[in-house]
Structure 1
Amino acid sequence: MFGTELPIIGSIALGPLPGSPRFGGELGAVVDAALEDARVLEAGGVDAVSLENMGDAPFFATQVPAETVASFARVLGEVRRRTDLPIGVNVLRNDGRAALAIALAFGGNFVRVNVLSEVFATDQGLIEGIGAELMRVRRIIGAERIAVFGDVHVKHATPLLARPIAESALDLVERGLADALVVSGARTGSPPTLEDLTDARRAGPVVIGSGLTAENAGMLLAAADGAIVASTLRPGGDLSKRVEPGRVEELMQVVRGMRS
């Protein structure tokens, strides 16, 4: 999909969409901000981008309303018109079916699902894995080309049953049918441990889901297969701010030096 080793996926954190508490009244402004971030990320050399509705907090647990799906699709469609990079979709908190539908309709390449397997206590309440439904829907609607990235021990959550991450990762691949595993720290901007990356990677390809920086990339990427990057590309790690070109270029310089 990415055509390179150690692919870096630049995250485009969407501003509040219509219907969310902090929506500013102009969807066009959300589109413009997403397009600017996409432009800067591509110019800086990232290998893909991924959109998520980060501005919509507090999030619905499992199913977002129609206005969110429609607005998200509008933004992704505009981004797709302006880039040939692979595009991912993450509809927070855990609406994998909406993400899959948006990706299929507008040329997305992968979706990220926070809770594909197991049960997690989150700030949205208990969320159960949706793998059984999602993988059947993917087959029914002819979306097998769209990869599913599943989080292992997802951030901002605690598994209801404490299990070693290696066991959770193996089940996510063998029983949840995840195409890749996302491993994060405890919160947005927090890096995963090397131990967690190494243990999860025994089950399948691992993508770092948070906390990668130019300073720790050499260490963390040695134990992973790629990364989704958001906080470090913005001033102060503030996801409501625009991506800064210098931050993208600094990270990508390190990554290019690691590629054989």
Structure 2
Amino acid sequence: MSWIKDLFHTEKPIIGLLHLRALPGDPSFYINNSSMDKVIQQARSDLKALQDGGVDGVLITNEFSLPYQKKVSAVTLAAMGRVIGALSDDFRIPYGAEAIYDPDATIELCAATDAQFTRCMFTGGWVGDLGVIDRDIGETIRLKSALRLDKLRLTYFINGEGEVYLNDRDLASITKTMIFNCAPDCLVVAGGMAGSGPETSLLAEIKAAAGETPVFCGTGCNLSNVESVLRIADGSYVGTTFKENGKFDGKIDVNRVSEFMEKVRAFRNGLE
């Protein structure tokens, strides 16, 4: 049995993204006169909609901590821990956590919240909207080991949403060396931004290069393309399309989740 089926109880799982509203330390937290109670209330509502709609797992992220930090502040990380702790009795499916753009903070957050999987930009040297990003996967994996997170599954972005690699190697070559050097549990292929997906040709290219290592779609999977995505990918993270009117800043709409998952289940049944 693959680790994917063991964890999510299905092949080709759909992992719903639970985007936390702006947190203490984030500029829009104060602009919008928010509070931790409001953040927790919205997170609980979104979690219920995702679970009632039938997703296979949920990943909690600080999606509205814009602009993102390369090193997530302690107050933001503490706030994420508080929210996830407040939801601990509500989880009915496997859950993960991600402190966006900060691999070490992500690992620490997972340790504090008993998260079962995560996703992050764990490797490479990049340049983009946040400036120059330099990863130290050796230190990150040693941190994971020191915290005894032996069962925590790491899914690695193979490309960035707003970044490019600081080299001219093609993604197929990067895929092969990343697997050899860094041993990811899964690779994640992103589009240009949240809600924008990768071309299926890119998914297919990475999947072919990845061999036995699973490949997930990271962004842009929606009702119209999910079958095409799952014909290639081993699963998908899904966020924006589950929201009211498919808008990034909307709340999770349980009806959109249910419609999407009904189509996914029909597709998966056809593979049996």
| 2:123 corresponds to | 117
Is structure 2 residue 54 aligned with structure 1 residue 48? no
Q: 2:193 aligns with which of 164, 187, 193?
A: 187
Q: Match of 1:220, as an amino acid?
A: V
Q: Match of 2:119, as an amino acid?
A: R
3-state SS, counterpart of residue 154 of structure 1:
coil
Please tell me the root mean square deviation across aligned C-alpha atoms, in Å: 1.3
Is structure 2 residue 238 aligned with structure 1 residue 229? yes
The residue correspondences of 1:31-70 to structure 2 (distance < 5 A) are 31-61=40-70, 63-70=71-78
Q: Report the identity percentage.
A: 29
1:186-219 CA-partner distances (Å, limit 9, x unpaired) = 2211111122112212312011111111111111
How far has the Cα of 1:253 moved from its partner? 1.0
1:140-185 CA-partner distances (Å, limit 9, x unpaired) = 1101111111001121111111222111222222212211111011
Contact 2:119 2:157 in 1 (8 A): yes
How far has the Cα of 1:129 moved from its partner? 2.1
Aligned residues: 257
Q: Match of 1:142, as an amino acid?
A: R
Q: Structure 2 length normalisation: TM-score? A: 0.91
The residue correspondences of 1:1-260 to structure 2 (distance < 5 A) are 1-23=7-29, 24-61=33-70, 63-92=71-100, 94-114=101-121, 116-201=122-207, 202-203=209-210, 204-259=213-268, 260=272
CA distance in 1, matches of 2:49, 2:118: 22
How far has the Cα of 1:237 moved from its partner? 3.2
CA distance in 2, matches of 1:177, 1:130: 14
CA distance in 2, matches of 1:167, 1:76: 37
Contact 2:243 2:252 in 1 (8 A): yes
CA distance in 1, matches of 2:203, 2:245: 25
Structure 2 stretches of 5 or more lacking a match?
Answer: 1-6
Q: Match of 1:237, as an amino acid?
A: G
Contact 1:109 1:146 in 2 (8 A): yes
TM superposition outliers: structure 1 runs of 4+ over 6 Å: none
| 2:3 corresponds to | none
